[in-house]
A and B are shown apart, each in its own frame.
Chain A
Amino acid sequence: MALKIIKPNFIIIFISALVLLISSNVKADRVVISNEGSDDITIIDLNTYEILNTIESGNRPRDMHYIPGTNSLLVAASEDDTINVIDMKTLKIIGNLETGDDPEIFDISPDGKVAVVSNEDDNEATVIDIKTGKIIRVIEDVGIEPEGVNFTPDGKYVFITSEGTNTIIIIDPWKGEIVEEVLVGNRPRRGAFNKNGEEYWVTNELGGTVSVIDTNTFLIKHTINFEKKGIRSSEITPVDFAMSNNGNLAYITLGRSKHVAVVNTNNYEVIDYILAGSRVWGAAITADDKTLIVTNGQSDDISIIDTDKRASIKSIAVGRTPHTVRIIE
Chain B
Amino acid sequence: MLPFAYTTVSGTTNAAALLAQAPEAMFIAGGTDMLQLLQESVIAPSVLIDINGLPFHGITESDEGVRIGALTRLADIMANETIKRQFPVLGRALQETASPQVRNMATAGGNLLQRTRCLYFRDATVPCNKREPGAGCSAQDGQNRMNAIFGGSPDCIAAYPGDMANALIVLDAELEIRSGNGERRIKVEDLHREPGNTPHIETCLRPEEIIAAIRLPFSAHARNSHYLKLRDRASFEWALVSAAVAVEITDGTVRAARVAAGGVGTRPWRLPDVERMLLDRPLNEAVALTAAEASIRGADARPGTQFKLPLLRHAIERALLMAGGLQ
Q: Do A and B make up one complex? A: no
Residues on B facing A (Cβ under 8 Å): none
Residues on A facing B (Cβ under 8 Å): none
